[in-house]
Amino acid sequence: MRCLVLGLATVLCAASSLAHPPPRGTQREIVRLTGHKVDGEPAGSSLVLVALGREYRFAPGEFRVFGFEDLEQGPPRGGRFVLQGPRDVLQRFAAARPDQRVSVLAERRTAGGDLFVLALDLCPEQ
Residue predicted with more confidence, 19 or 110 = 110
Is the CB of residue 51 less than 8 Å from the CB of residue 83?
yes
In the prediction, which pLDDT does 72 show?
A: 47
37-61 burial, b at 16+ Cβ within 10 Å, e below that, comes to: beeeebeeeebebbbeeeebbbbbe
Residue 106 pLDDT greater than 90, yes or no: yes
Around 67, how many Cα atoms within 13 Å sit in the side-chain half-sphere? Answer: 11
- For the chain, what are the domain ranges? 23-123
Of 13-27, 58-72, 91-105, minimum mean pLDDT range: 13-27
**Mean pLDDT of the residues in the chain:** 79
pTM of the model: 0.69
Q: What pLDDT was estimated at residue 73?
A: 46
Average pLDDT over residues 70-85: 68
pLDDT of amino acid 16: 55
How far is it, in rounded angstroms, from Cα 111 to Cα 113? Answer: 7
